[in-house]
């Protein structure tokens, strides 16, 4: 019969105690089942745990956003992203105007191919 016991350091463990075999005689210590996993099993369990932890931690890693400017003017227009809005989205990690949200980390601001050759002038003092 498996029973929970405590060793001399008062740490609980499970082992065979006062167990009888099929013949009705007590089992000796050499008959006890070894419940200690071998080193290979422990290594596999530790590696599996490390992989799971790495995957869980990886989900909290900082990712950078790619924000594409689609409007050459400094006037916000529905559905477009101006350079000013892209900078604000990157700095605040939030959706600004027609720009996607920035992310924690270093965001990248790109310019849409349709703006090639365009001059972008930011007005104001900001």
CA distance 52 to 22: 43
Report the SS3 class of residue 102.
coil
Q: What is the mean pLDDT of residues 35-64?
A: 68
Confidence at residue 71, expressed as pLDDT on a 0 to 100 scale: 93
pLDDT digits (tens, 9 = 90+) for 61-119: 557 889 999 999 988 889 999 999 999 999 999 999 999 998 888 899 999 999 999 99
Confidence at residue 51, expressed as pLDDT on a 0 to 100 scale: 76
Q: How many CB atoms lie within 10 A of CB 67?
A: 23
Q: Which helix (H) or strand (E) holds 42?
A: helix 39-58
- Residue 1's pLDDT band (boundaries 50, 70, 90)? very low
Q: pTM here?
A: 0.50
pLDDT digits (tens, 9 = 90+) for 30-42: 555 555 567 777 7
**Is pLDDT of 3 > 70?**
no
Selected residue with higher pLDDT from 38 and 4: 38
């Amino acid at each position: 019969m498996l029973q929970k016991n405590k060793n001399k350091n008062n740490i609980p463990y499970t082992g065979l105690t006062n167990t009888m075999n099929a013949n009705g005689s007590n089992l000796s210590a050499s008959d006890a089942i070894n419940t200690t996993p071998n080193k290979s099993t422990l290594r596999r369990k530790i590696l599996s745990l490390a992989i799971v932890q790495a995957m869980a931690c990886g989900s909290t890693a900082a990712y950078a956003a790619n924000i594409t400017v689609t409007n050459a003017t400094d006037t916000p227009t529905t559905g477009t992203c101006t350079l000013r809005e892209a900078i604000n989205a990157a700095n605040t990690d939030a959706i600004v105007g027609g720009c996607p949200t920035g992310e924690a980390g270093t965001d990248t601001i790109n310019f849409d191919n349709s703006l090639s050759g365009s001059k972008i002038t930011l007005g104001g003092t900001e």
